[in-house]
């Protein structure tokens, strides 16, 4: 199913920007999962059906980060992604939520922030007691238990996530870029956290940016970027963009009943 492909085609001079992925390649870039295993499995099934219906010489999955937090099954989501990691063509980007979990494993005091946006759900998925965390204390105790109960493969997965990925005329990252900097000079912080400066900018860069991080009701195509975060933890909808040649289309899966 997965193979190697040639470099992307160059744009003809004096033409409007046309963004392409490498020849003979189809890319599925998947938005923020946030602990929703059911949605991940549903979207993967849709991708499999799409590949079967439209065979491609090379197919690549690019996950845009935020696998954990907010949803009920962070541990199970990473278990699922680890199976996909066996295919060396899959790319796993780091989201700000993965970074915060890694920060907590190194420094328990970071729980002061993490507990407000998903730590409780993630800890509970690893069977870490959270009653003290909910009350604003017990951070070091929770850190100790998480270190004990976090499988080594999960830690290695988190540490192996990457800040960005390039393919053809596309640049993939979790949150976006600092539009004032060249793509080669982006900071890890901006790639994981930036919002307003990036979202409001209309600069067309050397590559089109594909990102998540900021939830939208449906996948969003702008002149310079594509946002595929459809707020799975709020909407019950997980989406991906399908890039092939110069074409852009989307796949989505919906929960049987959206989160309350």
- pLDDT tens string, the chain, 260 residues long: the values are 333 333 333 444 556 589 999 999 999 999 999 999 999 999 999 999 999 999 999 999 999 999 999 999 999 999 999 999 887 789 999 999 999 999 999 999 999 999 999 999 999 999 999 999 999 999 999 999 999 999 999 999 999 999 999 999 999 999 999 999 999 999 999 999 999 999 999 999 999 999 999 999 999 999 999 999 999 999 999 999 999 999 999 999 998 765 65
Note the pTM of the prediction, 2 decimals. Answer: 0.92
CB 146 within 8 A of CB 164: no
Q: What's the length of the chain?
A: 260
How far is residue 235's CA from residue 119's CA, in Å, rounded to a whole number? 20
**The two three-digit tokens of residue 143, written as one number:** 């850190």
- Report the pLDDT value the prediction gives residue 15, as an integer from 0 to 100: 61
How far is residue 64's CA from residue 77's CA, in Å, rounded to a whole number? 14
What are the strands of the beta sheet with 58-63, ordered from one edge? 91-92, 58-63, 25-30, 237-244, 247-254
- Report the pLDDT value the prediction gives residue 30, as an integer from 0 to 100: 98
Helices and strands, number each (H, E), in the chain: 11, 10
Instruction: Assign domain 25-95+161-254 one CATH number from 3.60.21.10, 1.10.3720.10, 3.40.120.10, 2.60.120.380.
Output: 3.60.21.10
CB 205 within 8 A of CB 222: no
How far is residue 175's CA from residue 192's CA, in Å, rounded to a whole number? 5
- Report the pLDDT value the prediction gives residue 257, as an integer from 0 to 100: 63
pLDDT digits (tens, 9 = 90+) for 171-197: 999 999 999 999 999 999 999 999 999
As to burial, measured by CB atoms within 10 angstroms (0-12 exposed, 13-18 middle, 19+ buried), residue 150 is: middle
Residue burial 3-18, b: 16+ Cβ < 10 Å; e: rest: eebeebeeeeeeeeee
């Amino acid at each position: 199913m997965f193979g190697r492909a040639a470099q992307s085609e160059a744009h003809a001079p004096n033409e409007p920007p046309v963004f392409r992925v490498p020849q003979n390649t189809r890319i599925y870039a998947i938005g923020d999962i946030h602990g929703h295993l059911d949605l991940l499995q549903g979207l993967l099934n849709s991708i499999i059906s799409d590949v079967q219906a439209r065979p491609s010489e090379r197919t690549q999955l690019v996950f845009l980060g935020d696998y954990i937090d907010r949803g009920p099954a962070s541990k199970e989501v990473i278990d699922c992604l680890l199976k996909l990691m066996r295919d060396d063509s899959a790319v796993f980007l780091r989201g700000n939520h993965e970074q915060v979990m890694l920060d907590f494993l190194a420094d328990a005091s970071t729980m002061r922030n993490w507990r407000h946006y998903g730590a409780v759900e993630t800890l509970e998925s690893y069977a870490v007691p959270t009653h003290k965390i909910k009350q604003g204390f017990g951070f070091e105790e929770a850190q100790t238990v998480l270190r004990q109960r976090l499988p080594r493969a999960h830690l290695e997965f988190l540490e192996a996530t990457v800040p960005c990925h390039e393919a053809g005329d596309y640049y993939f990252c979790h949150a976006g870029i600092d539009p004032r900097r060249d793509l080669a000079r982006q900071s890890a912080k901006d790639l994981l956290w930036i919002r307003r400066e990036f979202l409001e900018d209309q600069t067309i860069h050397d590559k089109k940016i594909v990102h998540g991080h900021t939830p939208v009701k449906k996948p969003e195509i702008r002149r310079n970027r594509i946002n595929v975060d459809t707020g799975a933890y709020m909407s019950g909808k997980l989406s991906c963009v399908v890039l092939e040649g110069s074409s852009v289309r989307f796949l989505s899966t919906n929960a049987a009943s959206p989160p309350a």
